[in-house]
Amino acid sequence: MNWGARVAEQIFVGGGGEGYGTPQGLLLKYANRHGLIAGATGTGKTVTLQILAEGFSAAGVPVFLSDVKGDLSGLARAGSEDFKLHGAFSERAATIGFTDYAYRSFPVTFWDLFGKAGHPVRTTVAEMGPLLISRLLDLTEAQEGIVNICFRVADEESMALLDLKDLQALLVWAGENAKDLSLRYGNVSTASIGAIQRRLLVLENQGGAELFGEPALDLADVMAVDDEGRGRVNILAADRLMSSPRLYATFLLWLLSELFEELPEVGDPDKPKLVFFFDEAHLLFDDAPKALVDKVEQVARLIRSKGVGVYFITQNPADVPEDVLGQLGNRVQHALRAFTARDQSDLRKAAQTYRDNPAFSTEDAIREVGVGEAVTSFLERKGVPGMVERTLIRPPSSQLGPITDQQRGDVIAASPLRGKYETRLDRDSAFEILARRAEQAAKEAEKAEEEKEREFRNARRYDPNRETPTRRSRKADDSFGEAMAKMVVKELKGTTGRRIVRGIFGTLFKGR
Ligand SMILES: Nc1ncnc2c1ncn2[C@@H]1O[C@H](COP(=O)(O)OP(=O)(O)OP(=O)(O)O)[C@@H](O)[C@H]1O
Ligand SMILES: [Mg+2]
């Protein structure tokens, strides 16, 4: 069968051979109805992700994926005989009737929060919003309230909140004005502010400072196609990021919410506008408050009509909350181990979520499939889940395993985005504005003091017994703080300012 001819309609995933079912394809029309790639370690999840990314790219659909182990960079290079690490690829291709199998490279854009293994990817503190920032810092509700106040003040005062320095400056200011702020907003304790500052420090040590600033990520650069009409494969270096799971999960969640907010409604397009792969998805749900899980569920449901497909990759489907799992229409279930009673129950549960095939037991199949094989079910015409099949997953066309640092460097150097994000900008923002105002306030205070002193001196000329006034030395920040507090309170009265609320995530972390 020549699958190339069908590429406009579906992505070939794998197929038959003896003991296997009919060839399996992922219909592009239903690719925005999300998906799941699950399986124990070493069973073939990453390769499945790789072949799906290839398929989408070839169909003109850009994808975004995180590379947790550094083994997806191979997408940037055509495969070769040298990289048939596991069995003969062409043999596998022949077995499953993949006659137009060929080695190919794909247009990869490398991204890296730390700016080393790809273009730096940044967002601003304001874009991330108070709720995700609070989640990132793991704040209590009271602390989150303070972050909200800082955002609000910055907003009303038209002070840009770009990087962590800006947030720190506002927290310092809030500390100095805790009393005034408490009057207006309820208890703003300096202890809470201190706690937030300490969390910020931790975030900074984890490399969080790199994430915030400008130039911020332009979604258009992610949603791009190359000259040949192939979707760009955006690969986020996530190996180092994995040591800060909260940073990793919050960043991806932010990206999802950004896509959700920025993209227009498109209903059910012929093919997705973008496909987003969420690797190590359990990190998103580990000890996540119920409200967060609800929102992820909601975003997954609604982002579909923006033409974005979200695919979760995880070892155990039980890691994904049921409400979310229920929305993942396209599934590739690699082998699950069943050593413990808990494993067995998870396996049974996983099996129950599929439409049975009378030819075999789904449960047994999930236990038995080998490496690079899976139990699959894709949405069929009218969006009905297909019957499960045992599927030998097709080999990738790009290189299996990572490329060298040198090769990666070459790809980055040749990228059309080269130079756009590399140099950090430091636009005038809260930090600078507050510092300047403090300086200004200090100068004015000084002038006033001098004025007073002169008056006293003049007065003393006529009354030599009058005491010399002691010049109060004031710390610049104090006078600034007072001036600022008065101004803010005045401004906040009857304001019509734009409020920083993050659309669907607006109530994200409430009520935990
Ligand atoms: N479709 C496939 N075709 C050919 N070989 C495959 C295929 N899938 C998996 N393999 C082989 O199995 C190895 C392990 O697969 P992979 O890295 O995808 O596992 P994984 O489930 O991602 O593991 P981990 O949980 O450790 O990340 C691959 O390096 C490759 O050699
Ligand atoms: Mg893997």
**pLDDT digit string (tens) for 286-323?**
877 787 788 888 888 999 999 999 999 999 999 999 98
- The CA 309 to ligand 2 mean position distance, Å, reads 20
Query: Is the pLDDT score of 426 beyond 90?
Result: no
- The CA 72 to ligand 2 mean position distance, Å, reads 9
- The CA 231 to ligand 1 mean position distance, Å, reads 24
Give the residue, by CA position, lying nearest to ligand 1 atom 23: 42
Query: Is the pLDDT score of 229 beyond 70?
Result: yes
Query: Is the pLDDT score of 503 beyond 90?
Result: no
Contact present, 132 and 250 (Cβ < 8 Å): yes
Phi, psi (rounded to 5 degrees) for 125 = -60, -40
Report the pLDDT value the prediction gives residue 110, as an integer from 0 to 100: 97
Q: How far apart (Å, rounded) are the C-alpha atoms in residues 220 and 234?
A: 12
Q: How far apart (Å, rounded) are the C-alpha atoms in residues 417 and 392?
A: 37
Q: How far apart (Å, rounded) are the C-alpha atoms in residues 504 and 132?
A: 12
Give the residue, by CA position, lying nearest to ligand 1 atom 6: 372
Mutate to test the pocket of ligand 1, among 11, 13, 47 (most ligand atoms within 8 A of CB): 47
- The CA 79 to ligand 2 mean position distance, Å, reads 18
Q: Which 8-state DSSP code applies to residue 380?
A: -
The encoded tokens of residue 314 equal: 């995880």
Instruction: Please calculate the CA angle 385-388-394 and round it to the nearest 5 degrees.
Output: 105
pLDDT band at 131 (very low <50, low <70, confident <90, very high): confident
Give the residue, by CA position, lying nearest to ligand 1 atom 7: 372
Report the pLDDT value the prediction gives residue 477, as an integer from 0 to 100: 46
- Name the CATH architecture for the domain at 31-122+219-413: 3-Layer(aba) Sandwich (3.40)
Q: How far apart (Å, rounded) are the C-alpha atoms in residues 376 and 388?
A: 5
Looking at residues 421-441, what average pLDDT do you find?
88
Give the residue, by CA position, lying nearest to ligand 1 atom 3: 395
pLDDT band at 502 (very low <50, low <70, confident <90, very high): very low
Nearest ligand 1 atom to the CA of 68 is 27
Contact present, 124 and 459 (Cβ < 8 Å): no
- The CA 42 to ligand 2 mean position distance, Å, reads 7
Q: Report the DSSP pairing between strands 10-15 and 389-393.
A: antiparallel
Report the pLDDT value the prediction gives residue 243, as an integer from 0 to 100: 84
Report the pLDDT value the prediction gives residue 349, as an integer from 0 to 100: 92
Phi, psi (rounded to 5 degrees) for 192 = -65, -40
Query: Is the pLDDT score of 87 beyond 60?
Result: no
Could you tell me which of 365, 376, 385 has the C-alpha nearest to residue 331?
Answer: 376
Looking at residues 198-203, what average pLDDT do you find?
93
Report the pLDDT value the prediction gives residue 307, as an integer from 0 to 100: 96
- The CA 102 to ligand 1 mean position distance, Å, reads 19
Could you tell me which of 254, 291, 292, 260 has the C-alpha nearest to residue 126?
Answer: 254
Nearest ligand 1 atom to the CA of 85 is 31
Q: How far apart (Å, rounded) are the C-alpha atoms in residues 504 and 272?
A: 21
Could you tell me which of 476, 485, 491, 488 has the C-alpha nearest to residue 440?
Answer: 476
Domain ranges of the chain: 31-122+219-413, 125-211, 430-510
Looking at residues 228-239, what average pLDDT do you find?
95
Q: Poorest-confidence range of 10-19, 235-244, 458-467?
A: 458-467
Could you tell me which of 314, 234, 321, 214 has the C-alpha nearest to residue 276?
Answer: 234
pLDDT band at 246 (very low <50, low <70, confident <90, very high): confident
Task: Report in angstroms the alpha-carbon separations of 19 from 16, 95, 146, 213, 378.
Answer: 7, 11, 61, 54, 19
SS (H, E, C) 393-431: ECCCCECCCCCCHHHHHHHHHCCCCCCCCCCCECCCCHH
Instruction: Give 22-41 pLDDT, tens digit per residue.
Output: 789 999 999 999 999 999 99
pLDDT band at 162 (very low <50, low <70, confident <90, very high): very high
Query: Is the pLDDT score of 85 beyond 90?
Result: no
The radius of gyration of the chain from alpha carbons, rounded to an integer in Å, stands at: 28
How much of the chain exceeds pLDDT 90, in percent?
A: 54
Q: Which ligand neighbours the alpha carbon of 87 most closely? A: 1
Mutate to test the pocket of ligand 1, among 66, 73, 86, 392 (most ligand atoms within 8 A of CB): 86
The encoded tokens of residue 21 equal: 């079912």
Nearest ligand 1 atom to the CA of 44 is 18
Looking at residues 189-193, what average pLDDT do you find?
93
Q: Can you point out the beta strands (E) in 339-486?
A: 373-377, 389-393
For the chain, the average pLDDT equals 85
Select, from the ranges 358-362, 447-451, 478-482, the one with the highest average predicted confidence (pLDDT): 358-362
| Ligand 1 pocket list (CB less than 6 A) | 39, 41-47, 69, 85-86, 92, 371-372, 393, 395, 400
Looking at residues 140-157, what average pLDDT do you find?
91
pLDDT band at 84 (very low <50, low <70, confident <90, very high): low
Query: Is the pLDDT score of 7 beyond 80?
Result: no
Q: Which ligand neighbours the alpha carbon of 40 most closely? A: 1
Q: Which ligand neighbours the alpha carbon of 402 most closely? A: 1
CA end-to-end span of the chain, whole Å?
54
Looking at residues 477-492, what average pLDDT do you find?
50
How much of the chain exceeds pLDDT 70, in percent?
A: 86
Nearest ligand 1 atom to the CA of 50 is 18
pLDDT band at 327 (very low <50, low <70, confident <90, very high): very high
- The CA 386 to ligand 1 mean position distance, Å, reads 24
pLDDT band at 366 (very low <50, low <70, confident <90, very high): very high
Give the residue, by CA position, lying nearest to ligand 1 atom 2: 372
- The CA 242 to ligand 2 mean position distance, Å, reads 13
Looking at residues 366-381, what average pLDDT do you find?
93
Q: How far apart (Å, rounded) are the C-alpha atoms in residues 49 and 55?
A: 10
Report the pLDDT value the prediction gives residue 23, as an integer from 0 to 100: 84
- The CA 65 to ligand 2 mean position distance, Å, reads 12
- The CA 304 to ligand 2 mean position distance, Å, reads 26
The alpha carbon of residue 443 and the mean position of all alpha carbons in its chain are separated, in whole angstroms, by 44
Q: Which ligand neighbours the alpha carbon of 371 most closely? A: 1
